Chain A
């Protein structure tokens, strides 16, 4: 088991190394160097040269690369020129926190809805419960997130002004406001994710319900409840863990549009803002952090999976 963990960790580190190298290459080799990116097209050649020197862009590439990797390894993400030499980590991590908050709440809500709904619709296959669940999942699938988000915004902030039209107030400052600002983005993301998870849960349950061991459980004289919620659910839940994890990972990196709509200053929002203000030094770290989150989430998912499934845990 420890060996398995070690191997997975190593694997994660390898992925992170590849990502950071890719970021290095992309941000330095693709048209216009960072100095030009930061200053824009109409900067004077002197300013440009000065900035190149300051950023160390005149050093040989391998020196730059080693410095980049060295800094990352030490956890030094540098200072942002465009943000008045503020620590980049001071910008990125709070934003990540806000994104995680949104993603976690959304996933939680999605799971709370999807697990029972998927299960019941499988157990009562073909009944009205099942039909309603399937209409819901199809809707969730076919509706793009931004349509859903903007629709909610118009409905709950414009037509019936019940909720603030986005924005962010820290929890510590005004808990009620903070929570009310969360409602719409969470609903938007959760409904789409819940649709996906419901369908997954339903399919998994259906498969498990026709398994031989479920028939064995019935033949033993167990109650339907125990057969469904103990024997079948335990098996269907294992792949669900992976699915939830993957969805969570995707959310962290894919919140750009939603954060934009609801003006939620998370990682996606920060990325867009930084691109607009040409803060490439923030963008590159944001990309890295977002990738790292994905890798870590996947690692956790794999570990949970092997812990849940005795067939894997053993070897």
Chain B
């Protein structure tokens, strides 16, 4: 077995607010191999963003605080590193694309300048004109028309899709080994989304980078990830290869989530909907955090008292539920 590019072990992060403590991430573990694409899905507030920001030391401290765990990148734990030491990883080995292209670029600095800066900070010895040339090449690579002219424009002169492409160009500038994209297309229109996804795929192919794609769009994940992590209340509730998760989901939450999606190919008479509300992260229910909404084990005492651990369901397929067998038959019952 190959050594994973990134291994996150037991990561826990909390936010200490004046009146409450939010345990945003609780004992999250996963790993990622070179060239692989991992999807992270889950509802708003389930801890997806905090998980990846912690890896690069980007959560605001205070109020954020990493309370435990490791993030081994090529064998080196990133969590204890100083900001200065992390700097050579950020944007060079691991880079990020964020959700909102409208606010993720600095509005008063030209796009080209921001791009050049990403190159310059990791190769300060190279000449300015070299950086510029490479910057224009990158804009061209992500499909921005007239890259020379666009290089000297400000972000507000770009459309939303173009800004996100520029972000991708910037993230790819130093040929990182890992690209983390946090909801890269959520803020974009459907047709532009499709363009940006193609750009991302192309950039990945070109550099051979591994990637983590965070999204709440299960359709998107199914199309471009190799494996998926499903998060709920700051925990991983299920993890597995795309085919397994989408065809043989084992956790009631995953099952419910898949049944809630309207499909354009086959029209369902009525959607399944998971009852109840997402958990209040400052007051996560005891036991299995999903129990108040669970159709399988919601009433059982073990679900209310004991938090289930991730258990193997098959090859590289894990779920955290006390009653995965019943969940599977419940799914079969629903399908008929």
Q: Which A residues are within 8 Å of any B CB, using their own CB?
A: 126, 210-213, 215-224, 226, 231, 234-235, 238, 308-311, 314
**B206: CB under 8 A from chain A?**
no
**Out of B87, B90, B92, B154, which one reaches A310, CB within 8 Å?**
B154
Chain A min CB distance to B273 (Å): 32
Residues A238 and B108 in contact, CB atoms below 8 Å apart: yes
Q: Within the assembled complex, what's the spacing in Å between the Cα atoms of A235 and B91?
A: 22
CA distance A308 to B156 in the complex (A): 14
Q: Would you call A220 and B58 a contact (CB within 8 A)?
A: no
By a CB distance below 8 angstroms, the chain B residues around A310 are 107-108, 154, 156
| 18 further interface pairs, Cβ-Cβ under 8 Å (given A216-B96, A218-B90, A222-B91) | A126-B62, A210-B60, A212-B103, A212-B104, A213-B103, A215-B58, A216-B98, A216-B104, A216-B106, A219-B90, A219-B95, A219-B98, A220-B90, A220-B170, A221-B88, A224-B83, A235-B107, A238-B108
Q: Determine the chain A residues whose CB is within 8 A of the CB of B100 once the complex forms.
A: 212
**A-contacting 9-mer, from B64-72, B115-123, B217-225, B316-324:** B115-123
Complex Cα spacing A156 to B262, Å: 79
Q: Which residues of B contact A220 (CB under 8 A)?
A: 90-91, 95, 117-118, 121, 170
CB distance from B311 to the nearest CB of A (A): 35
- Could you tell me if A234 and B108 are in contact, using CB atoms closer than 8 angstroms? yes
A70 to chain B, nearest CB (A): 46
Give Cα A220 to B170, complex, Å. Answer: 8
Which residues does chain B contribute within 8 Å of A215, judged by CB atoms? 58, 98, 104
B residues adjacent to A (C-beta < 8 A)? 56, 58, 60, 62, 83-84, 87-92, 95-96, 98, 100, 103-109, 117-118, 121-122, 154, 156-157, 167, 170
A216 and B87 within 8 A (CB): no
Enumerate chain B residues within 8 angstroms of A222, measured Cβ to Cβ. Answer: 87, 91, 117, 121
Which residues of chain B are within 8 angstroms of A311 by Cβ–Cβ distance? 107-108, 154, 156
Q: Which of A126, A212, A234, A235 contacts B98 (CB 8 A)?
A: A212
The 29 sampled A-B contact pairs (Cβ below 8 Å) are A210-B60, A211-B103, A212-B100, A212-B103, A215-B104, A216-B104, A216-B170, A218-B90, A219-B58, A220-B91, A220-B95, A220-B117, A220-B118, A221-B87, A221-B88, A221-B89, A221-B90, A221-B91, A223-B87, A223-B121, A226-B117, A234-B106, A235-B107, A235-B108, A238-B108, A308-B108, A310-B108, A311-B108, A311-B154
The 9 closest A-B pairs by CB, nearest first: A221-B91, A221-B90, A220-B91, A212-B103, A213-B106, A310-B154, A219-B96, A220-B118, A212-B104
A234 to B60: give the CA distance in the assembly, Å.
Answer: 21
A228, chain B: closest CB distance, angstroms:
12
Contacts of A126 in B (CB 8 A): 62
Distance (whole angstroms) from the CB of B156 to the closest CB of chain A: 5
Q: From residue A42, how far is it (CB to closest CB) to chain B in Å?
A: 65
- From A221, A235, A308, A314, B106 is in contact (CB under 8 Å) with A235
Residues of A within 8 A of B83 (CB): 224
Contact B108 A219 (CB under 8 A): no
Given contacts A310-B154, A311-B154, contact A217 B106 (CB under 8 A): yes
Give the Cβ gap from B15 to chain A, nearest Cβ, in Å: 14
Secondary structure at the B interface, as helix, strand, loop or mixed, is: loop
Distance to closest chain A CB from B128 (angstroms): 16
Q: Which residue of B lies closest to A208 (CB)?
A: B106
Residue of B nearest to A232 (CB): B106
Task: State in angstroms the CA–CA spacing of A212 and B105 once bound together.
Answer: 8
Residues of A within 8 A of B117 (CB): 220, 222, 226
Chain A residue at smallest Cβ distance from B103: A212
Complex Cα–Cα for A309 and B109 (A): 10
Kindly name the residue among B62, B84, B109, B122 whose own CB sees the greatest number of chain A CB atoms within 10 A: B109
A114 CB → nearest B CB, Å:
21
Q: How far is the CA of A170 from the CA of B173 in the complex (A)?
A: 60
* Cα(A234)–Cα(B109), bound, Å: 9
| Residue pair A309, B108 in contact (C-beta under 8 Å) | yes
How far apart are B2's CB and chain A's nearest CB, in angstroms?
27
Pair B122/A221 contact, Cβ less than 8 Å: yes
Q: B274 to chain A: closest CB distance in Å?
A: 30
**Does the CB pair A219–B91 fall under 8 Å?**
yes
The docked-state distance in angstroms from the alpha carbon of A217 to that of B83 is: 13
A234 surroundings in chain B (CB, below 8 A)? 106, 108-109
Question: Are B121 and A231 neighbours in the complex by a CB distance under 8 Å?
Answer: no
A221 lies within 8 A of B109 (CB): no
A224→B106 CA distance, assembly (Å): 16
Q: Which residue of B84, B105, B106, B157 has the most chain A CB atoms within 10 A of its CB atom?
A: B106
A307 CB to closest chain B CB (Å) equals 12
How far is A308 from B108 in the complex, measured between Cα atoms in Å? 8
CA distance A215 to B107 in the complex (A): 13
Asked if B91 and A213 make an inter-chain contact with CB atoms under 8 angstroms apart, the answer reads: no
Chain A residue numbers with a CB within 8 Å of B98 are: 212, 215-216, 219
Cα separation A245 to B122 with both chains bound (whole Å): 39
Q: Which residues from A are CB-within-8-Å of B60?
A: 210
CB neighbours of B107 from chain A (8 A): 213, 235, 310-311
Which B residue's beta carbon lies closest to that of A217? B106
CB distance from A165 to the nearest CB of B (A): 47
Give complex CA distance A311, B110 in Å. Answer: 11
Nearest A residue to B173 via CB reads: A220
Min Cβ gap B54→A in Å is 13
**CA A212 – CA B87 in complex, angstroms?**
18
In the bound complex, CA of A210 to CA of B64 (Å): 13
